[in-house]
Amino acid sequence: MPFVPLLLVGLSAVPSPPTSPEGTLRAVCQTHAADPGHPWALAHGITLEGQDFRTRDGRRAVDVIVSDFVRPGPRFEPFTAEGIPVQPHPALQEKTLVLAGVPLGRQFQTPPGPVTLKALVEALQRGFSPALASSPDGAWTLDALGHVLPPGTTFRNGAGETVRFDAVMDEALATLERAQAELAEGMKAGLPQVPKRKQGIYTHPCGGLHFFQAVASWARHPAVRKAWGGRLEAQVEVLIYRLGSEARQYEAALAASPEHRLALLSQSLKFYGHFLETLGRYRKENGWRPTPKQQQAVLRARQLLEATVRRLGEAQAFERMPTLAQENPQLSWDLLGDACHAAHGLALWK
pLDDT in tens, 26-36: 999 999 999 99
Q: How far apart are CA 19 and CA 5, in angstroms?
A: 31
pLDDT in tens, 45-97: 999 999 999 999 999 999 999 999 999 999 999 999 988 899 999 999 999 99
CA 95 to chain centre: 10
pTM for this entry: 0.93
The predicted pLDDT at position 334 comes to 95
Complete DSSP assignment for 318-347: TTTHHHHHHH-HHHHHHHHHHHHHHHHHHH
| Contact in structure between 28 and 11 (CB atoms under 8 Å) | no
pLDDT in tens, 262-285: 999 999 999 999 999 999 999 999
Q: What angle do CA 104, 108, 112 make, to 5 degrees?
A: 125
The predicted pLDDT at position 83 comes to 86
CA distances to 9, 50, 76, 107, 146 from 62, rounded to whole Å, are 21, 9, 13, 11, 20
Residues in the chain: 350
| Contact in structure between 201 and 184 (CB atoms under 8 Å) | no
User: What are residue 116's DSSP bridge partners?
Assistant: 107
pLDDT in tens, 313-326: 999 999 999 999 99
Banded pLDDT at 17 (limits 50, 70, 90): very low
